[in-house]
A and B are shown apart, each in its own frame.
Chain A
């Protein structure tokens, strides 16, 4: 396993269509995060999973967005009825927090760049 992978790398869609992105984390990592990054900004937290449980969702995650991690391994992020404002890079990261330490290091995938026309 060489790292976090995301698919597709690029997606162009028309406004109103649904899109789904996939993230495969580093295999032993139990935490998985989704971020959105717009041009000139750092990543903004969307949601995260501990194993299959979705523990937190940002206010940025409107009801058109849904994320799943059904078996605690890969995750999907779906955006329904896409809007032009959804155009961004969607980044996935995974981590394995150490119980003996407060340190958590996230490893990022290459991202999926979404363009909504």
Chain B
């Protein structure tokens, strides 16, 4: 399968910005996604970006894509304690396949 890599942990203080990074290897990826998973729950779609875009903003979320370096990031502005969760990036290619990273656990300290 394809490799999607994320750092395992991120800790921030409430009110700060969080930046979660992801790298992928499949150059045929068409869309890239960010999902959030809270304890004991399934994955909740946060946002996605088409592979020919550089940036997408959606309220407190900003997605940046560097296609040349195959690097994706998710910035959460004004991080709240309710944002504490595991965040997964996923790539989708032309073969109807989704590949997920192993997730970044975000801890927001009050």
Chain A residues within CB distance 8 Å of chain B = 4, 6, 31, 33, 40-45, 48, 55-56, 91, 93, 97, 102-111, 113
Do B48 and A105 have beta carbons less than 8 Å apart?
Answer: yes
B44–A108 contact, CB under 8 A?
A: yes
Whether A42 and B96, one on each chain, are in contact in the complex, defined by CB atoms closer than 8 angstroms, is no
The distance from the CB of A32 to the nearest CB of chain B, in whole angstroms, is 12
Chain B residues proximal to chain A, CB less than 8 Å: 1, 4, 30-31, 33, 35, 40-45, 48, 50, 88, 90, 92, 94, 96-103
Across-interface contacts of A97 in B (CB, < 8 A): 96
9 chain-A/chain-B pairs, Cβ below 8 angstroms: A42-B102, A45-B97, A45-B98, A91-B43, A102-B94, A108-B42, A108-B43, A110-B40, A110-B42
Complex Cα gap A41–B104 (Å): 10
Q: How far is the CA of A79 from the CA of B65 in the complex (A)?
A: 39
Chain A residues whose CB sits within 8 angstroms of the CB of B103 once the complex forms: 40-42
* A106: min CB distance to chain B, Å: 6
Q: How far is the CA of A48 from the CA of B97 in the complex (A)?
A: 10
Are B31 and A103 in contact, CB atoms less than 8 angstroms apart? yes
Give A50 to B8 CA distance when docked, in angstroms. 34
On whether the beta carbons of A4 and B42 are closer than 8 Å, the reply is yes
Looking at the assembled complex, report how far the CB atom of B95 sits from the nearest CB atom of chain A, in whole angstroms: 9
Residues of A within 8 A of B101 (CB): 42
Is A111's CB under 8 angstroms from B42's CB? Answer: yes
**Complex alpha-carbon distance, A97 and B100, angstroms:** 19
Q: How far is the CA of A33 from the CA of B98 in the complex (A)?
A: 10
Could you tell me the distance between the alpha carbons of A105 and B94 in the complex, rounded to whole angstroms? Answer: 13
Of the residues B42, B50, B88, B97, contact of A42 by C-beta under 8 Å: B88
Among B31, B40, B88, B100, which residue has its beta carbon within 8 angstroms of that of A104? Answer: B31
Given contacts A108-B44, A110-B42, contact A41 B102 (CB under 8 A): yes
Smallest CB separation, B54 vs chain A (Å)? 17
> Nearest chain-B residue to A40 (Cβ)?
B102
A104–B43 CB distance below 8 A: no
What is the minimal beta-carbon distance from A24 to any residue of chain B, in angstroms?
A: 13
Structural contact, A91 and B42, CB atoms closer than 8 A: yes
Q: Kindly list chain B residues whose C-beta atoms are within 8 Å of the C-beta of A33.
A: 98
